[in-house]
Structure formats: structure tokens, C-alpha cells
Structure 1
Amino acid sequence: MTVSIVVVSHSEKIADGVVELAAQMAPDVVILPAGGTDDGRIGTSLEKVLAALEQAGTSGDGTGTTGMGATGTVVLTDLGSAVMTAESALEFLENPAGVLLADAPLVEGLVAAAVAAQGGADVHAVRKAAEAARGAAAQPGPGGADSGTEPVSSAAPDCTGDFELVNQAGMHARPAAKVAGGLASLDAEVTINGVDGASMTGLMTLGAGKGTVLHVEAWGADAERAVEYVGGLVEAGFGEP
């Protein structure tokens, strides 16, 4: 993997827990926790963050955080002061160009970022995947206006597809993460049965079980690729029984 991820949290247990969760869905991605203070209290530690960034920079392909393009490190944080600690850590790096801070929800953002990195996305696409997990409210929909929690458009989709869920458990957390993480890194707005395809939470609210047909609509330059991506995952049963 060429992109690593660092999680900065006020709690060591939270950092370790979300990293464990994301690692289940992206086993080949280097994801490092930097939670709590040096003496185990609630808070953040500049030293812990620096150590994680240095480890991330020497993991994987060895190009480090100075690499441009595909390589680099994405940092996710929980609360405001964690952002400040992460920003302070960047000032101590010899070359922080390959380290990107993501403005994203910690759990859903981390899972989406990890899945994108597992799929080979570059550092910018991984950050985009994390930030897309916040929902479509922060992004313009295909029609150009803010679209609320779901992308909407008066224009006909550029590509559509219908795919029947064949895996026994249906659209639970792992498949939702794979779909959302992959779509978030593409240049396309996608709805699946009416919800934002790049939102892991939105997909899980569908309650789609085995046999449910997913209707996929996509707009944008990568519309066809997005529909094919979803179709491929569904037809393969997300690699599950």
C-alpha cells in the first residue's frame, strides 16, 4: 500500500478501537493510532502523533510522507484540540507535503479512507473518501446546488444499473464500507436506492437484505466506472458467502 493513515484521538481506547475496526476492512493498509496522553490520560500528545507520522512514513513502500502523487499519509482526528495537535506535528516534519489532514467523522471517515486506500487510491483520493463520509450536505449535487443529505438532480443520470444482493447478510457494515469508500474516490455523484452511495451510514439505513435489488444511478465523468464498481462488488457477494 502507498497510503497510510494516522488516527489522532483524545482517548487511547477510541483510537485503538477505530483502528481495529478499519483494519478488518483494509488489512493491507498501515493504520496507526495516536490516542491519549503519554501517561494514559484523556488528551492528546504531540510526541505520540509525531511517532505515528514517522512510523507511517517508513511503512509500506518506504517512500515516506514526503512522497507526492500516490504516496502519503492521511490524518483523521476526533475533536478540535486534536486537530491543533496534528497541525503542530506537521510543523516538526522535515517535509510535510505528503501528509494531509482530513475534515471527516472519525469512525465512518476512517473506514471509508481505509477501504479507498486498500483499493489503491492515492493520498488525495483517500482524503476525499474520508471527507465524503460526512455526507453530501457539504458537497454540491450533480445539478450544482447543495443537495442536503442525498445527491439529487433534475437531469437524467449518465449511467444506471440494477444489481441483486446475493450475499447472505446483505448490505451490512463491511459491504457498505466497501461501496462508500470506493465511490467516494471517484469523480461521480451516485445514488443507490435513493441514498448517497458514498455514505456508509446511508447505505446501512437501507436495510437491504439478500435478494434486494440495488438501483444505482450515477452522474459525472466516472459515472460508468462507478456503476460497474458497485455491480462488481454486488455480483461477487462482497467476497462473502
Structure 2
Amino acid sequence: MFVDSHCHLDRLKQGPEALAETLDFARTRGVEHFLCVCVSVNDYDSMLETVSNFDDVSVSCGVHPLHQDEACSFEELLEKAQREEVVAIGETGLDYFYSPESKEVQLTSFVDHIKVANETKKPLIIHTRDAREDTINLLREHKASHTKGVLHCFTESLEMAQAAIEMDFYISISGIVTFNSASELREVVKAIPLERLLIETDSPWLAPVPHRGKQNQPGYVVEVAEFIADLKGVSVQELAEATTQNFYRLFSLAGNKRVASNN
């Protein structure tokens, strides 16, 4: 069984009935759980309403580094993050590639998220691009290893991955690994231990080969798994089992929901 460890179900361009069909399709392919990731605290309640009827969907709460025009106070973030249904904090992080001009605001927001994660004892979901040194330094400085987390949709260096793993973080790989332009990333993925890998779609974006040009969806996490399994020389079943176990180990509250829905 597979898990889509990072998707944005509220951002899919489809209505409620179509979302149910999309998740059913994923389930028929062996995807057993979905983590719907928040990009704006302002949109959290509407996101939750979109997915609340699905027992196999968990949610996070946070502000994406590229959504700083929708930034919230530390107190508002903490209030929502403490809610029972929230299994993780984020996505948060730093993106100097698309928005270097908002660097200072991003840094403040990122530190707030790390502090909230430490206070709530919930793991971090981190977006990082062209900000390797600041990302790792802030995680170390604010003791993010206490809560752990994941560097999602990873496209950075092996050295950065190793630094994160030393803090007990996981590395999540999206459909980007299947792109023709991703030769360097594939070498990084080969070197990352299986016990530290997660898989994701980041849907509705970044559809993997052979679905390029289509809206991405959670069912396509299977193609990501197949590609990585071939890359690492393991069976798809072994890759699926390892990444699923890693997911529930990191996001233990999602695991609790899984147990409850099975009873």
C-alpha cells in the first residue's frame, strides 16, 4: 500500500463529487492515506471542509513561504495548529528562488513555525529552494530535531539531505524525479537510505511521467514509487512498504486516524 505524503486536495480543479472519484481512483491503485497540506492559514478552514468527510485524509496547518501576503501571527498559527485534526505544521520554509525579496518575512515565518512545532510536538513539513544554508541553520538553531519533519518535494543537494537526516528528518520525493531534467536529483535519491524516504505527488502540480501536462492527482504517486524503486534496485512492494512505514512513523497522528478508521 502507498501513501501520498503531500498533496493539495483543495487546490484540485474539480468539485466535491469529482474529488471523491479522484480519491477512489487512488484507492484502487493501492493508495491508503493522503496528507492534505495547507499553504495559507487563511484557507485552513475551507481546506478542512473540503476533506473532512474522508477518513483516510489527514491535514496540516501552516503558511507556504511564497504565500507571505497571507501571513498570520504566531498566536493565530498556534491556535489552529493545536487543533486535534492537525497532524503536522506547514508547509513552511524558505524559497529564495521565486521570492528573494520576501526573505526577511520568510525567515520570521519559518522560525514561528518551528516554535509552534516544538510547542505542539507535531512534525514540520518544509519547502526549501535555493536556501540550503539558512534552512539547515534555522532548523539546528531552533532545535527542530525535537519534533522532526520532512523536506518535501526535494530537489536540493545530497549534502543538504544528509544534514536533514542527521536531525532525524525525512526526504520526500515527488514526480520531478521522473523528469528528463532530473539527472542530478536521481543520483541524490539513489544515495538516500530507504528508511528516510517518503513519496508524494504535490498535486495538483508536477505530474510525473507519463502524465506530464495533466493535472496531477494522488493516484499518480504509484508512478513516483515505481520510478524510485527501479532507481534504487528494489521491488515496488518494498519501496511502498518502507515509505508507508516511514510516513506513519513521522506523522504518528495520521497513524492514529488510520487505526481509528479501521476499527
Structure with the higher helix share, 1 or 2: 2
- TM-score normalised to the size of structure 1? 0.33
Q: Higher relative contact order at CA 8 Å, sep ≥6: structure 1 or structure 2?
A: 2
- TM-score normalised to the size of structure 2? 0.31
| Rg larger for | 1
